[in-house]
């Protein structure tokens, strides 16, 4: 088991040197010999290169926040690809913000024009007319003549 670990460590060191472009001619010759003789080493080599190339491609194409890890599937021409039934197509966040802003403007306009406060009562400059007071009993006196 220890010898197998050392062999794998040597393989991955050679793979890393090749991918990092720091491989020497002796290491390159050793890698060619191992790959030509060992099928398991070739499988590990292809898996390592696939992982390295996918990581490099993801790093170059997308910002870190947009990484999505997906199982690789056979490539299909995008023009024939359709969304699975029952799943709506995703819309962008900007479109949702635009629709929300339009609805907000409509509601604000409705509230402003249709629900205006009732007209305030008009205040006249004339003094209010007071009701004449009924004459009091003490004020109405008749004298006999």
| Domain residue extents for the chain | 2-64
Q: Is the pLDDT of residue 139 over 70?
A: no
In angstroms, the CA 19 to CA 49 distance is: 8
In angstroms, the CA 14 to CA 2 distance is: 18
Q: What percent of the chain has pLDDT over 90?
A: 18
Q: Is the pLDDT of residue 131 over 80?
A: no
Residues 44-68: pLDDT tens digits? 999 998 988 888 888 777 655 555 5
Query: Residue 85 — very low, low, confident or very high, per pLDDT cuts 50/70/90?
Result: low
Place of tokens 């002796």: 26
Place of tokens 């890393």: 16
pTM: 0.40
């Amino acid at each position: 088991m220890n010898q197998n670990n050392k062999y794998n460590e040597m393989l991955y060191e050679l793979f890393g040197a090749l991918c990092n472009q720091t491989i020497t001619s002796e290491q390159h010759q050793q890698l060619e010999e191992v790959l030509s003789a060992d099928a398991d080493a070739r499988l590990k080599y292809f898996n390592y290169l696939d992982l390295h190339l996918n990581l490099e491609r993801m790093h170059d194409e997308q910002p870190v926040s947009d990484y999505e890890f997906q199982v690789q599937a056979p490539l299909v021409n995008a023009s024939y690809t359709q969304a699975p039934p029952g799943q709506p197509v995703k819309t962008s966040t900007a479109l949702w913000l635009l629709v929300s802003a339009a609805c907000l403007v409509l509601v604000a306009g409705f509230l402003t024009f249709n629900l205006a406060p009732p007209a305030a009562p008009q205040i006249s400059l004339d003094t209010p007319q007071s009701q004449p007071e009924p004459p009091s009993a003490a004020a109405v006196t008749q004298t006999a003549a």
